[in-house]
Structure 1
Amino acid sequence: MTDLLPAAVLWDMDGTLVDTEPYWFESQVALVGSFGGTWTKADGDTLIGSGLWHSSRVLQQHGVDMSEDDIIDHLTTAVLERCAVHIPWRPGAKELLAELRAAGVPTALVTMSIRRMALFMVDAIEFDAFDAVVAGDDVEHAKPHPEAYLRGAELLGVDVADCVAVEDSVPGLASAVAAGAVALGVEHHAPLADDAGYVRRTTLVGTTLADLRELHAAGRRLREQRTTDS
């Protein structure tokens, strides 16, 4: 059965590993407000899963008179200040990570947050959770482009088609699917679909390596069937 294990599991961070989306939103509200503007929950929801440079341009359109890089640095610092007080881990995430590590399954963190934030989260985990990190400032194209997930598989030395990606956002899942990974969507802040090329769950609580093994096997069977049909 070990031959059915995923070659690796690739993890999104914000909203999947840690519930930082409220921190990002609060920081956006404060920043836009400091320039006399208004930022609504609907505005924030449009940015879930997006690259930070895209988000910065949207914030500029709402009146934030700062460069894109300065906006990213400001927001990242604000979110990290909140995380220094309390890191809101997503239920079931660290438990599944620990099981993967115990089984020797390689893992990579694939996030659109910048590297200093990604490494803060990695260092906060009480065990050696990830073999590689791909951050938003490591890639040219943000999610939903497949570059980040392709890069994650490359760093691990595995075929992305033999990987399972764990995500919570529509752009992130589109990135994973476009890269060729088997994708597990864990619905949280943003609604997900049941027919968009990924498997949808509402929580990682109770999700085990056996579940990912079956998901990977089902994805492989589907690819084989498509090859036969073509």
Structure 2
Amino acid sequence: MSSAPLAPALPDAVLWDMDGTLVDTEKHWMAAEGALVERFGGTWTHEQAMTLVGQGLETSAGILQEAGVRMPAHEIVDHLTAEVMTALEELGPPLRPGALELLGALRDAGVRCALVTMSLRRMAELVVGGLPEGLFELIVSGDDATRPKPFPDAYLQACAALGVDPARAVAIEDSPTGVRAAVAAGVPTVGVPLMVSLVGAGAHELWPTLENRTPHDLADVSSAHAAAAARKGHA
């Protein structure tokens, strides 16, 4: 009598993007950007705002300077961060559907989680501080990354700090920039789009939502990636 096949092993870690993936903060960023450009007599369209989704804050500051914001880049970053943090403090972190449930299930299953975001650490800590304790072991923020997404640095730094092989982790991202960063780091990546399509961005799986997703779904992603890598190695 044959035994049932073993279920895929859970990933060693799950690496979460924050803005747009864990929390739907993009509307707060866009409002702050538009108000800042208008203060300097410019206009800020929805299409322009969409180009900043997933970008590092220094990159975004440069684009805003090109739109007419006459402030040093670091002042733009500090201003936008303060505006978004004020909105979060007033309204609370707007969690994306299914995110909190999946985080809790991962914690209960013993899977370590890290937050990998281009937002500043003080904002990431504000978001994490509004969640139940013990969900995130590590934060790698825009302050910490040697280079911003789409470079792989932040994901590689997170894996190094956790002591895990990138191929044994899974990343969850909502933007093409973030997906490219995680994939470049060698991390199996799930794309859960919010504002921008992820078709063609390179994610290993695309999910419309995190609702009803479980650690076993992430194990399937990890297992499929490992199998594909093994086939490629033997080709």
- Structure 1 counterpart of 2:32: 27
- TM-score normalised over the length of structure 1: 0.97
What is the identity, as a one-letter code, of the residue corresponding to 2:214? T
Q: Kindly tell me the number of residue pairs found equivalent between the two proteins.
A: 229
Q: Does 1:14 align with 2:19?
A: yes
Q: Where do 1:118-137 residues align within 5 Å?
A: 118-137=124-143
Aligned-pair identity in percent equals: 45
Q: Where do 1:144-183 residues align within 5 Å?
A: 144-183=150-189
Q: Where do 1:50-65 residues align within 5 Å?
A: 50-65=55-70
CA contact (8 A) 2:192 2:207 kept: yes
Q: Does 1:92 align with 2:98?
A: yes
What is the identity, as a one-letter code, of the residue corresponding to 1:138? D
Q: Following TM superposition, by how much is the alpha carbon of 1:85 offset from its aligned partner in structure 2, in angstroms?
A: 1.5
Encode CA deviations 1:53-110: one digit per residue, 9 max, x unaligned: 0000000111111111110000000001100112211000111000000111011100
Q: Does 1:141 align with 2:147?
A: yes
CA contact (8 A) 1:109 1:133 kept: yes
Q: Following TM superposition, by how much is the alpha carbon of 1:140 offset from its aligned partner in structure 2, in angstroms?
A: 2.1
Q: Which has more helix, going by share of residues? A: 1
CA contact (8 A) 2:179 2:201 kept: no
Q: Measure the CA separation in 2 of the matches of 1:97 and 1:168.
A: 16
- Structure 2 counterpart of 1:187: 193
CA contact (8 A) 1:17 1:89 kept: yes
Q: Following TM superposition, by how much is the alpha carbon of 1:196 offset from its aligned partner in structure 2, in angstroms?
A: 2.3
Q: Following TM superposition, by how much is the alpha carbon of 1:139 offset from its aligned partner in structure 2, in angstroms?
A: 1.3
CA contact (8 A) 1:12 1:167 kept: yes
RMSD of aligned residue pairs (Cα, Å): 1.2
- TM-score normalised over the length of structure 2: 0.95
What is the identity, as a one-letter code, of the residue corresponding to 1:108? A
Q: Measure the CA separation in 1 of the matches of 2:201 and 2:121.
A: 32
Q: Measure the CA separation in 1 of the matches of 2:204 and 2:194.
A: 15
Q: Following TM superposition, by how much is the alpha carbon of 1:200 offset from its aligned partner in structure 2, in angstroms?
A: 0.7
- Structure 2 counterpart of 1:72: 77
Q: Following TM superposition, by how much is the alpha carbon of 1:192 offset from its aligned partner in structure 2, in angstroms?
A: 1.0
CA contact (8 A) 2:8 2:220 kept: no
Encode CA deviations 1:168-198: one digit per residue, 9 max, x unaligned: 0000000000000000000111111167242
CA contact (8 A) 2:190 2:205 kept: yes
Q: Measure the CA separation in 1 of the matches of 2:201 and 2:128.
A: 32
CA contact (8 A) 1:32 1:62 kept: yes
- Structure 1 counterpart of 2:114: 108
Structure 2: runs of 5+ lacking an equivalent: 1-5
Query: SS of 1:10's equivalent?
Result: strand
Q: Measure the CA separation in 2 of the matches of 1:197 and 1:213.
A: 16
Q: Measure the CA separation in 2 of the matches of 1:157 and 1:116.
A: 24
CA contact (8 A) 1:194 1:200 kept: no
What is the identity, as a one-letter code, of the residue corresponding to 2:150? P
Q: Measure the CA separation in 2 of the matches of 1:96 and 1:16.
A: 12
Encode CA deviations 1:179-230: one digit per residue, 9 max, x unaligned: 000000001111111672421111000111110011111011011111111x
What is the identity, as a one-letter code, of the residue corresponding to 2:17? D
Structure 1: runs of 5+ lacking an equivalent: none
Query: SS of 1:101's equivalent?
Result: helix
Q: Which of 25, 37, 47 is equivalent to 1:42? A: 47
Q: Measure the CA separation in 1 of the matches of 2:132 and 2:201.
A: 36
